[in-house]
Amino acid sequence: MHADLDAFYAAVEQRRRPELKGRPVAVGGAGPRGVVMSASYEARAYGVGGGMPTVRARRLCPELVMVPPDMDEYAVVSANVMAVLHSFARRVEPVSMDEAYLDLAGVGIKPRALAELLRGRVRDEQDLALSVGVGPNKLVAKLASVAAKPDGLLVVAADEVEAFLRPLAANRLPGVGPKTADALTRFGLLTVGDLADTPRDTLRRIVGAAAGDLLTASARGEDPRPVVPQRAERSLGGERTFPADVSGDHEVIHTTLLGLAGQNAARLRAGGLAARTVTVKVRFADLRTVTRSRTLPEPVDLAHDIFAAAVPLFAGLVPARARIRLVGLRVEGLDGGARPTQLALGEREVGWAELERTMDRVQAKFGAAAVRPASLITRSPQAGNFSGAEVVDRSERRGHGRPQRATAHAPRQPKSPG
């Protein structure tokens, strides 16, 4: 089974602001450089979609309501939905905040009835629409859930796979992006059925050996991947695009790094993780992007430690008088378990670890704005939400070789998060 929440971020905002129901809503940045993260189906009817510049989205839909993202709220809602999914199956593989695969082996309820129960639970408990696809493997289940949207259910039995797949457009298959689709179109291969009828060797010549083999298997509805109950996070991070370019010594740089450090640290602690590597990303006004990383002597899960590592990294990346468009902060080399602590001679027994864990408890009860570093208090709620721009650029999740370096100037001492 593939379960997928419909227009997740936008749906959460419509849920907590009833006046937005039935209106075109998009979650994302409202400024001239803003990007749409999620769009309601009312907005999608105008052509608005995720990853689209906000300026273009407003041109397509003048009545569009832009809402700043609240990643903390989305994480809580996601956890609640995942808890419902886990109550229906032993093996659940979250793919993202809003979708997951379920292995139905050993479940004593017929798939359609189970899916209806699950959809009803999510609707009753979370007031959200869940589209569900059921099939003999991940590939078919995913394609079925996409076909069922919005707020639908489709079950594809093993003997129905061929009839279901053949009429689908070829670009519905995984791995068929714009370039691959163009190559297939030049040879008249427009549907999954066309691919299924094409010899493997021919597909390999058109798109390459690995892609050709994948297309052949997918067109036949073959997918051996199991449902993996839990995927270990390899990295966590976020980034912020400024409404206007700022200088490298502007105070907003430090408050942004501090906000991102706090966000990453809270996510680490919530997952029982610690990180060994801190990576800072900078995009200049000319769109040149550079990164620099530092591996720490021991794993960390505190904003104080992450921020202290990030500030000199940033200073070493940015030449004098540079104009900055975007700043990102990522933690990598994640490891489970409690962070080891070793008191230095004369060090206080109670310090940053106790402070930040106390902040976790206060924020869990009273909200993220209840307590935070003093330097962030003067920032507006929208400006203080540092997670919204993460969808703009996810390339740092993959390795791209040695980080590019810019001319360095003398690093400044990190400021205290207080």
Q: Does residue 224 contact residue 140 with C-beta atoms inside 8 Å?
A: no
Q: Please spell the DSSP secondary structure of 152-173, one letter per residue.
A: -EEE--GGGHHHHHTTSBGGGS
Q: Please spell the DSSP secondary structure of 109-162, one letter per residue.
A: S-HHHHHHHHHHHHHHHH---EEEEE-SSHHHHHHHHHHH-SS-EEE--GGGHH
- Alpha carbon distance 2, 89 (integer Å): 12
Strand order in the sheet with 130-134: 91-96, 99-103, 2-5, 130-134, 153-155
Eight-class DSSP state of 396: G
- Alpha carbon distance 182, 206 (integer Å): 11
Q: Please spell the DSSP secondary structure of 328-350, one letter per residue.
A: EEEEEEEEESPPP--PPTT--SS
- Alpha carbon distance 99, 96 (integer Å): 5
Q: Are strands 153-155 and 130-134 parallel, antiparallel or unpaired?
A: parallel
Q: Does residue 132 contact residue 153 with C-beta atoms inside 8 Å?
A: yes
What 3-state class would DSSP assign to 282? strand
Residue with tokens 């997952």: 271
Amino acid identity, residue 361?
R
Verify whether residue 99 is a known catalytic residue: yes
What 3-state class would DSSP assign to 95? strand
| Torsion sign across C-alpha atoms 30, 249, 306, 399 | positive
In terms of Cα–Cα distance, which of 307, 321, 286 is closest to 375?
307
- Alpha carbon distance 357, 349 (integer Å): 14
Eight-class DSSP state of 242: E
Structure tokens at 313: 């990294």
- Alpha carbon distance 260, 264 (integer Å): 6
Please identify which of the residues 42, 99, 356, 396 carries the catalytic annotation: 99
Please give the positions annotated as active site.
Answer: 99
